[in-house]
Structure 1
Amino acid sequence: MEMRETADDALLSNAVRTIPVDTTSDRLRPIVETIERGTHKRNSPSPEPQPRPAIPDAGSSVDRPLEYDGAYYTLSLTNTVERMLTEAEVRVTAATTPSDDATNAVEYETLSEKDSTALRGALPPETGDREYESVHEYYDTQEVNASVLVPEMEYDAVIRDGQRYPVELASTEERQGYTYHYEAERVASTDDDFLAWLRSNYRFELTGLSDAEGKIVTEAIEESRYTGDKGDDAFRSLSDRFLSHPALERDEETGDWFVRYDGTEYIAALRPPQAYE
């Protein structure tokens, strides 16, 4: 365990994840869409939802709250539905002919939401030495019904910004998958409001310690680190106290907690002995 005294600016940098307003990242785009709409759904073949929920539930696996366009949000997973999904691979070729070509083509702006999401990062394609760029997307039944890409390609090309990009449906496959439903909650509009929210939802008082537990905390503060083992009963009981509270960030083995001890605030990094069982 490590105990680091923290000020407001350090607390903000440790407790929040910043999402750029003008992001072009396909990985961050679903997060942005959830924040901007208040709700969002994402199809995946994985039983592990991404992004993970960020809610102050004791003992849960959480990601940090999010800062976006000057405000602060939590992103929570509200529902998971098992269903069959269609996995589609679409190949996009670099523009070679003008948009008034007679070949059957569709305007990008008229595509369904799912089709436009699938092609967003590939138009224009960064093919380099390759002849085409492949994109993979998962469609549920409703999205298949609205699509012009799957289950059969209805057009030979997509037109975007005056350029014509040939498209080809390389493959489709039915797969067992999951639809994850997310909601975003705005928890603060200023830094001060967010710090107050953190103290209300994450900070806990480290009081009522036994002599042995108090010595562990003192060493973690004064010596920068305390190292125990599986047979260290005081360290185990102290770890149980941390694990019963929401973490600023946590995975299966480690986490960061926001605590106040003897009137001072700390970020406590902990790898509990329970993680080795």
Structure 2
Amino acid sequence: MTLTRYRYTVSTVADSTATYAQQLREKHLITLSGLSEDERMVVNEAVDDVYYAEDTDDEAFRSVMDHFPAESAIDADSYDGTWLVRYDGEIYVADFSYGGFDLNDRPVTEE
């Protein structure tokens, strides 16, 4: 039998919640602007609830994916990711799942 041990440490990254939120905005916030009508429909539906791409031929969803750069993700891999997004004057946390799309069309292609 092998016993695996893990060690966790904690360190302060900010003096307050407000400071931490500002750090997140500075490092990760992207702005969605200049979207086509179809792209806006995808984003608006996602804001209201959830947008589901019916298949990989969904050009509007594919086009929206292009606005989410891998380097801006809070956390992402080749199947899904989380971004901080400014859209129409509001800030949202966007959870984006794109695992069904061709690897070359995803915002993040490597883990």
Report TM bin, short chain.
0.7 to 0.9
Is 1:28 aligned with 2:4? Answer: no
SS at match of 2:66: helix
Q: 2:43 matched to 1:217?
A: yes
State the Cα distance separating 1:241 from its structure 2 match.
Answer: 1.3
Letter aligned with residue 56 of structure 2: K
How far has the Cα of 1:251 moved from its partner?
2.4
**Counterparts of 1:205 and 1:232, CA distance in 2:** 22
Matches within 5 A, 1:95-174: none
- The structure showing larger relative contact order (alpha-carbon pairs under 8 Å, at least 6 residues apart) is 1
Once residues 273 and 236 of structure 1 are traced to their aligned partners in structure 2, the CA distance between those partners, rounded to angstroms, is: 12
Contact 1:246 1:257 (C-alpha < 8 Å) held by counterparts? yes
Indicate the residue corresponding to 1:226 in structure 2.
51
Which residue of 217, 231, 249 maps to 2:75? 249
C-alpha displacement of 1:243: 3.5
Q: One-letter code of the match for 1:270?
A: F
SS at match of 2:19: helix
Which structure has the highest strand share of the two?
1
Find the counterpart in structure 2 of residue 193 from structure 1.
19
Return the offset for 1:189: 2.8
Change (3 A) 1:274 1:236: farther
**1:235 is matched with which residue?**
61
**Contact in 1 for aligned 2:81/2:95 (Cα 8 Å):** yes
Judged with a 3 Å threshold, the aligned counterparts in structure 2 of structure 1 residues 215 and 273 are, in CA distance, closer, same or farther, namely farther
Percent identity of paired positions between Structure 1 and Structure 2? 31
Per-residue Cα deviation, 1:157-197 (whole angstroms, up to 9, x for no partner): xxxxxxxxxxxxxxxxxxxxxxxxxxxxxxx3322211111
Higher gyration radius (CA): 1
Q: C-alpha separation between the residues in 1 aligned to 2:71 and 2:59?
A: 19
For structure 1, which runs of at least 5 residues remain unmatched after alignment? 1-24, 33-67, 73-187
Query: Is residue 80 of structure 2 the alignment partner of residue 262 of structure 1?
Result: no
CA distance, structure 2, for counterparts of residue 28 and residue 263 of structure 1: 42
More helix by percentage:
2
SS at match of 1:225: coil
For structure 2, which runs of at least 5 residues remain unmatched after alignment? Answer: 104-111
Task: Please give the per-residue CA displacement for 1:116-138, whole angstroms capped at 9, x wherever unaligned.
Answer: xxxxxxxxxxxxxxxxxxxxxxx
Q: Report the RMSD for the aligned CA atoms in angstroms.
A: 2.2
Pairs aligned (count) = 99
Q: Which whole-Å CA distance do the structure 2 matches of 1:215 and 1:273 have between them?
A: 21
| Residue 261 of structure 1, CA deviation | 0.7
